[in-house]
Structure 1
């Protein structure tokens, strides 16, 4: 009986150590997924603008199929619109802002207001995309 109690205590200690590590692994996987979604969305916005020369008349779903956006894919894009990449708790981790008009191809990527560990991890992972913002797909930054 004493041996059985020792085995149960040892299993309890192992579980107490393993469960927090599993939760951290889940957060790391979520950070990786959302960070990949941010990079994909920037690429998708650039590809759509390059192909069409405008975002006018587009819905979010026409531009990208990234599921991390809080807004629905049927949302019509508009001048100055802010789109939010959210974590699993719907906190805004990254914002996409359509600067100027839909015809000039300016897209700003910035940190959102979310302060969860997942959002902080995403913001750290995509810091280079935020630093290079605004992304000017229309070529208006070319000096002649």
Structure 2
């Protein structure tokens, strides 16, 4: 019941009553205080939300992505990713596939790409963000003069 109330507050429209990080921190602390029960209850809630993500409001979708990415980053990105393998066969714009893509992007901002690639199954390689490469505003041509690259 606690998880349901916290999630309801997180998804309160048009804006949650408190900062989103408050709800994320609260759920993390609950998981740490009740390690025997709370993580399993929270995992069930996430599965229910994931199953119904097709009908979720866009604002709630974004909050779900932000919270879940933050939550995973606090628990070493451990998740039962294998339960979501069928999403790898979906169109990347399908809500379930899009959710996984967005969560991995969020997770990469809270960690680094190689770590994320190691955590998820190989079937999710299509969801793992591309390796970030530097973009040089100026490059050196053969004459040694700087050339603006656009």
TM-score normalised over the length of structure 1: 0.27
* The structure with more strand, counted as a fraction of residues: 1
Q: Name the larger-Rg structure.
A: 1
Using CA pairs under 8 Å that are at least 6 residues apart, name the structure with larger relative contact order, 1 or 2.
Answer: 1
Return the structure number with greater helix share.
Answer: 2
